[in-house]
Structure 1
Amino acid sequence: MFYWFLKLIALGPLLRLVFRPKADGLDHVPGEGPAILASNHLSYADWLFMPLVLPRRVSYVAKSEYFTGTGFKGWMQRTFFNGAGQIPIDRSGANAAEGALMSAKSVLGRGELFGIFPEGTRSHDGKLYRGKTGVARLAIETGVPVIPVAVIGTDTVAPPGKKFGRLTRPSVRFGAPLDFSRYEGMSGDRYILRSVTDEIMYAIMTLSDQEYVDVYAARAKADAKKSAREVEEPTRKAS
């Protein structure tokens, strides 16, 4: 109930009034039954705006730290993320991927929508990065359709490294469902997983018009930070 309270009464109307988000391709999202919504990831605001334009609930997995805080602040954070449809997952352990997969299967098994960001982390520069194969494994093992999604403008609303940016009108584009039932029973084949993931990322790229980089986002982000440090180091020594 808290999810719908946030969406319909507390938070949703305010976001719609201030940002007036646009949506295209809503007819591609089924009115009932399970589906995977695979989206690009530009900002922490993505998981707010994408569900906002849909009449159905969307669930995601989120890092467990959001659910383990103490005191009043911890309780508020835990209540918000639970109510907003987030599912806690410990990303530090060796079984993090398995835990996320089990949580996703549970959501889809109830006939609901599950949202996932195949890049694994936010893009630091607005480009679209290589997708991780978890989305492909989930699609093959559950047999549900994958709907590619592109969020546009959220990195202006909430840029990487900042809580707030500039006011703009974000948009969400939903593509035609992708059916991977032809790969039933082949979720253990890493070549199939990569092929399916790349097909999903290509569909997202087509919707978002982003430049695609065939490198994992986390690696690209780490390389960018390393390069920035190498540039700054001589300057500090000179001063």
Structure 2
Amino acid sequence: MFAVVARSVLAPLARLVYRPVVEGRENVPRRGPVILASNHLSFIDSVVIPLVAPRPVAFLAKAEYFTGTGLKGRLSRAFFSAIDAVAVERGTHRAAQASLDAALGVLNEGRAFGIYPEGTRSLDGRLYRGRTGVAWLALTSGALVVPVALAGTEQIQPVGSRLPRVRRITVRFGEPLDFSDRAAALAGGTAASGPVRRAVTDEIMDAIHALSDQTRAAAYNEPPKSAAA
């Protein structure tokens, strides 16, 4: 019930308050598995994309959001369940693979899954090198990849702020990318998996960059040591 309210009431209300500029919604397939690969500027990104996309979009969320107690815990659990968030444990290599497996489960159900190839949000506004988990998902599931570019979400909830602000944002959905030819090459044994995953990831990041026009960073985006700890 809360999920229905979130999409039928909260989404129009958010559009009324924030007046987002949304471009390319028609590029998101209405049915079947699809990966929405986006740049990452703010915690609020995982709320913005599901609210403006033409279909429900699942994102991974820390398991702690679903296990809290008291009123705050119940509200957190209800909210993240409403936006189709998938609970995962974080922090280890095994947890990283478990996260990819959970995402694959979403795609195997024919649903839409959102992912940030940079891994963590950009604190300086640059677009960092993509990690190859997004390519593994695309090649394993056979899902199309829709590149997404967000602009202005870092102004809604800057790092360290507790309450969102009213700021104008832009969300651009690019044309779907089809990597079925690369998946077939891997299945036929005519290509090595590592280089293919790297090439697919770079192609996805190029598409995101074309939409966002962010300054590129050659390095991976590593979380601050305090956050990593």
With normalisation by structure 2, the TM-score equals 0.90
Residue 104 in structure 1 maps to residue 108 in structure 2: no
User: Which structure: larger Rg?
Assistant: 1
Q: Which residue of 2 aligns with 1:118?
A: 117
Over the matched positions of the two proteins, sequence identity in percent amounts to 49
Tell me the CA shift for residue 25 of structure 1: 1.0
Query: Aligned equivalents of 1:165 and 1:60: distance in 2?
Result: 20
Tell me the CA shift for residue 213 of structure 1: 0.3
Query: Aligned equivalents of 2:7 and 2:24: distance in 1?
Result: 20
Residue 180 in structure 1 maps to residue 144 in structure 2: no
Determine helix, strand or coil for the equivalent of 1:140: helix
Residues 146-182 of structure 1: per-residue CA shift (max 9 Å, x gap): 0000011111111122234653211110111111111
Q: Which residue of 2 aligns with 1:195?
A: 199
Q: Which residue of 2 aligns with 1:3?
A: 3
Correspondences of 1:39-54 after superposition (within 5 Å) = 39-54=38-53
Q: Which residue of 2 aligns with 1:234?
A: none
Query: Aligned equivalents of 2:214 and 2:165: distance in 1?
Result: 20
Gaps of 5+ in 1: 223-239
Query: Aligned equivalents of 1:2 and 1:120: distance in 2?
Result: 29
Contact persistence 1:21–1:49 (CA under 8 A):
no
Equivalent in 217, 222, 226 of residue 218 of structure 1 = 222
Correspondences of 1:1-239 after superposition (within 5 Å) = 1-9=1-9, 11-164=10-163, 166-184=165-183, 186=186, 189-218=193-222, 221=224
What is the CA RMSD across the aligned residues, in angstroms? 1.9
Distance 1:8 1:203, change over 3 A: same
Query: Aligned equivalents of 2:50 and 2:165: distance in 1?
Result: 21
Gaps of 5+ in 2: none
With normalisation by structure 1, the TM-score equals 0.86
Contact persistence 1:34–1:112 (CA under 8 A):
yes
Determine helix, strand or coil for the equivalent of 2:197: helix
Q: Which amino acid aligns with 2:5?
A: F
Query: Aligned equivalents of 2:6 and 2:97: distance in 1?
Result: 30
Aligned residues: 221
Query: Aligned equivalents of 2:198 and 2:5: distance in 1?
Result: 39
Q: Which amino acid aligns with 2:2?
A: F
Contact persistence 2:28–2:54 (CA under 8 A):
no
Query: Aligned equivalents of 2:93 and 2:128: distance in 1?
Result: 23
Tell me the CA shift for residue 126 of structure 1: 0.9
Tell me the CA shift for residue 90 of structure 1: 0.5
Query: Aligned equivalents of 1:34 and 1:78: distance in 2?
Result: 25
Query: Aligned equivalents of 2:51 and 2:36: distance in 1?
Result: 14
